[in-house]
Structure 1
């Protein structure tokens, strides 16, 4: 294959020029091969307040692109991925302690996501919480969200626990491991532990509220799940070394992307902090990242030894810009747009729902783009979650979502709130309370007296709440289980089990 560097650089320049013209937050785009950085572009501002330009050397938060760095450190340590987390962390409750380290990292462990579990209890993502407070919450989790090996559901918890395992084994803070690993390659990665820690040269993160930009804030401590900071140039240098197998990354790409399997033997696209998918005739490997005010994506084509990094300090999708640049470089056509039936769909039972637009899907709150699969169906461009659906008429979709076969039917127009949901509910372990009212609203847990949410009724004793906080939206499903209790579930956390109060 002849690589089209001219076409790729033209597309990258176009994206950077758009950021520059807007004179708001921006980003950097770096193209690289196995030998290092080839081209770099940037536009917009790293700090709107101080008119500081964003450059390829600007320090940014990598967010979840950080994950595979921990996987590298764990693999180099020789820790067995098939050993249960309780081997190192006996304080964990039995359900979590029994999850294998490998499943904790490949998202098939059923581990509830800390942030979503906190949000469902009324703790906003801006709350300041340190590592010990987060671990104490994990030690109180009553169950898993799903049986290990049955489903891929995105969760940061396994990576938080994986970091704790590594620190216990090595006896040193993970920040030192990150600095040493990147330093061997002449790169400057840094792991700040919270948003208050000063990181020299760090771009400010922004999210859009109407026509204006707002500064992003994240209170929960940073961890291996998404805490590393560094520049686009440094991140491109890291991925270049990963493609070439240089230094501490020798043989690591093959180990990170080795097939991971569900309990039934089928293969998952999510590996050890990297997602394996295809673009036309090319295998591609990458991962995205999102923190309040930061959106990033890194994509590589290992067979061709090339890739692209897109780091931004603006709360906008980065996967598609990265994909368009890589497609131009490889001479591959972008996937044809999907034509999904718009609307709200729900499974026959349980908390499983999806809202579709022609080109995207939100499955229980997890967003993915949808494209045509070339066989009359729809599939995701998996930033994280692998989705493959077939449409059966206007009102039914069926297929695989995160490795699980599901059938989703359109929610009938005029669906009314099930009166069995009405009342005051309490979770005995955490003290969380929800009051569902006859007027179709719910008083959801939130600081300063709760937060009222308009409910969207679903059939069979279910309803969706809707909560906004900054740029982020949570839509937990409230549903009656077989024992008459109220369950609270999102894509990332499904463990709250409530009983009637009073």
Structure 2
């Protein structure tokens, strides 16, 4: 197969041209192979307020692209992935302590995501919390979000805990390990633990509100789940070495992408910090990253020995940019976007709901574009979440989401709030209180002090809240389980509230 650098470069140049506007944040797109960087493009500002340009050498926050680096460090240290987290972290409560390290990393452990668990208690992601404060909360988590091995539900918690295991077992700071691994292949990686730490040249993250750009802010401790900072050039040099298996990265790509399975034996597309996909006849491996004001994607074609890095300091989807460049590079056609009738859908029971857009699906807070699968069905090209659905009729979607069978029905217009939801509710584990009014509103602990939100009713004793914080919209689901009111989203489903 011929690699078309010319077409790929033209596509990359066309994307960055869109970031050329005055006062716009920007980004960089770098094409690479096993030997290093082949093409690089950039535009826009790393700092709007200081007029500094975004270049391929500009440090940016990688966000969740960082994850596979920790997996490499764990594999190099010989830490067994089949042992439970409690083997090392004696403070963890059951059942978290019983989750195998490998499942904590491949997102099938059922571990509640710490940020979402905090949100549900009124602590926003802008709150400044240290690693020890977050670990202390993890040690109070009373239950898993789902039975281990049953579904792929994105959670950063396993990666936070795995970093603690690595540091405990090696006696070294993970920041030092990251810098050492990166330097060995010409990548200037840094891992700041605190968002207030000064990183020379770091691009400011931006998100748009109306006609103006605002700076993004993230207060939680930066961990191995998404804390590494570096440039597009750094990441391309690293990924090229990973493709080539150079030095400390010898054999690592194969180990990172080795099949991972659900408890029923089915294979998951999510591996150890990387997602496996296929574009036409080409197998792809990659991962995205998102923090307030930063959106990134890294995509590689191992058999071809090529890849693309897209780093931006603006809130816009990066996966599609990476896909379109990779399609030109590999000479493959892009999948046909789905044409859908928008609407709100929900399962018969439980917190499982989805919002169908014209060409996308938002599932419990996770967003993926949908494409025709060539066999009359719909599929995602997953940034994280593998979706495979069929429309049984205009009002019914059925298939698998995150490896779990789901059947979703369109929510009828005019659905009324179930009166059983009305009242004041309290969670005994955390003291979280929520009051639902007969007028269809809920007083949420958001942030501390409370915020009133209008609920979207779902059938069978359920409703969706709507909580906006900066660029991120959070829509947790209330659902009745007997006499208990549950609250949860895709990443955390641990609150159990009793009527006061």
TM interval, shorter chain, is over 0.9
Whole-Å separation in 1 of the counterparts to 2:183 and 2:58: 18
In the alignment, is the contact (CA less than 8 A) between 2:123 and 2:448 conserved in 1? no
Whole-Å separation in 2 of the counterparts to 1:406 and 1:4: 40
Whole-Å separation in 2 of the counterparts to 1:261 and 1:277: 16
Q: Which residue matches 2:403?
A: 403
In the alignment, is the contact (CA less than 8 A) between 1:256 and 1:271 conserved in 2? yes
Whole-Å separation in 2 of the counterparts to 1:434 and 1:341: 34
Q: How does 1:78-477 map to 2 (within 5 A)?
A: 78-477=78-477
Tell me how far 1:403 sits from its aligned partner.
0.5
- Helix, strand or coil at the partner of 1:108: coil
Q: Any stretches of 5+ residues in structure 2 without a counterpart?
A: none
- Helix, strand or coil at the partner of 2:95: helix
Tell me how far 1:194 sits from its aligned partner.
1.3
Whole-Å separation in 1 of the counterparts to 2:441 and 2:285: 43
Tell me how far 1:184 sits from its aligned partner.
1.2
Q: Which residue matches 1:492?
A: 491
Tell me how far 1:339 sits from its aligned partner.
1.8
- Helix, strand or coil at the partner of 1:303: coil
Residues 244-276 of structure 1: CA deviation (Å, up to 9, x unaligned): 000110000000000000000000000000000
Q: Which residue matches 1:75?
A: 75
Tell me how far 1:342 sits from its aligned partner.
1.2
In the alignment, is the contact (CA less than 8 A) between 2:278 and 2:284 conserved in 1? yes
- Helix, strand or coil at the partner of 1:479: strand
Residues 10-49 of structure 1: CA deviation (Å, up to 9, x unaligned): 0001111111135400000000000000000000000000
Whole-Å separation in 2 of the counterparts to 1:187 and 1:371: 35
Whole-Å separation in 1 of the counterparts to 2:426 and 2:205: 36
Whole-Å separation in 2 of the counterparts to 1:281 and 1:74: 32
Whole-Å separation in 1 of the counterparts to 2:359 and 2:413: 22
- Helix, strand or coil at the partner of 2:19: helix
Tell me how far 1:340 sits from its aligned partner.
2.7
Whole-Å separation in 2 of the counterparts to 1:189 and 1:280: 33
Tell me how far 1:448 sits from its aligned partner.
4.8
Whole-Å separation in 2 of the counterparts to 1:313 and 1:466: 26
Residues 97-131 of structure 1: CA deviation (Å, up to 9, x unaligned): 00000000000000000000000111001000000
Whole-Å separation in 2 of the counterparts to 1:280 and 1:338: 17
Residues 336-356 of structure 1: CA deviation (Å, up to 9, x unaligned): 011233100000110000000
In the alignment, is the contact (CA less than 8 A) between 1:486 and 1:497 conserved in 2? yes
Residues 178-209 of structure 1: CA deviation (Å, up to 9, x unaligned): 01111111221000001100011100000000
Whole-Å separation in 2 of the counterparts to 1:95 and 1:356: 34
TM-score (norm: length of structure 1): 0.99
- Helix, strand or coil at the partner of 1:412: coil
In the alignment, is the contact (CA less than 8 A) between 2:486 and 2:493 conserved in 1? yes
- Helix, strand or coil at the partner of 2:18: helix
- Helix, strand or coil at the partner of 1:317: coil
Whole-Å separation in 1 of the counterparts to 2:224 and 2:318: 21
The RMSD of aligned alpha carbons is 0.7
Q: Which residue matches 2:11?
A: 11
Whole-Å separation in 2 of the counterparts to 1:342 and 1:392: 15
In the alignment, is the contact (CA less than 8 A) between 1:299 and 1:309 conserved in 2? yes
Q: Count the aligned residue pairs.
A: 500
In the alignment, is the contact (CA less than 8 A) between 1:26 and 1:54 conserved in 2? yes
Whole-Å separation in 1 of the counterparts to 2:328 and 2:211: 31
- Residue 39 (1) aligns with residue 47 (2): no
Whole-Å separation in 2 of the counterparts to 1:346 and 1:491: 13
In the alignment, is the contact (CA less than 8 A) between 1:340 and 1:378 conserved in 2? no
Whole-Å separation in 2 of the counterparts to 1:341 and 1:261: 33
In the alignment, is the contact (CA less than 8 A) between 2:66 and 2:226 conserved in 1? yes
Whole-Å separation in 2 of the counterparts to 1:71 and 1:209: 36
Whole-Å separation in 1 of the counterparts to 2:308 and 2:331: 14
- Helix, strand or coil at the partner of 2:165: helix
In the alignment, is the contact (CA less than 8 A) between 1:377 and 1:390 conserved in 2? yes
In the alignment, is the contact (CA less than 8 A) between 2:186 and 2:238 conserved in 1? no
Whole-Å separation in 2 of the counterparts to 1:108 and 1:326: 29
Whole-Å separation in 2 of the counterparts to 1:424 and 1:443: 9
In the alignment, is the contact (CA less than 8 A) between 1:66 and 1:227 conserved in 2? yes
Whole-Å separation in 1 of the counterparts to 2:182 and 2:354: 40
Whole-Å separation in 1 of the counterparts to 2:292 and 2:185: 29
In the alignment, is the contact (CA less than 8 A) between 2:279 and 2:334 conserved in 1? yes
Whole-Å separation in 1 of the counterparts to 2:220 and 2:263: 33
Whole-Å separation in 1 of the counterparts to 2:275 and 2:17: 29
Tell me how far 1:173 sits from its aligned partner.
1.1
Whole-Å separation in 2 of the counterparts to 1:231 and 1:426: 46
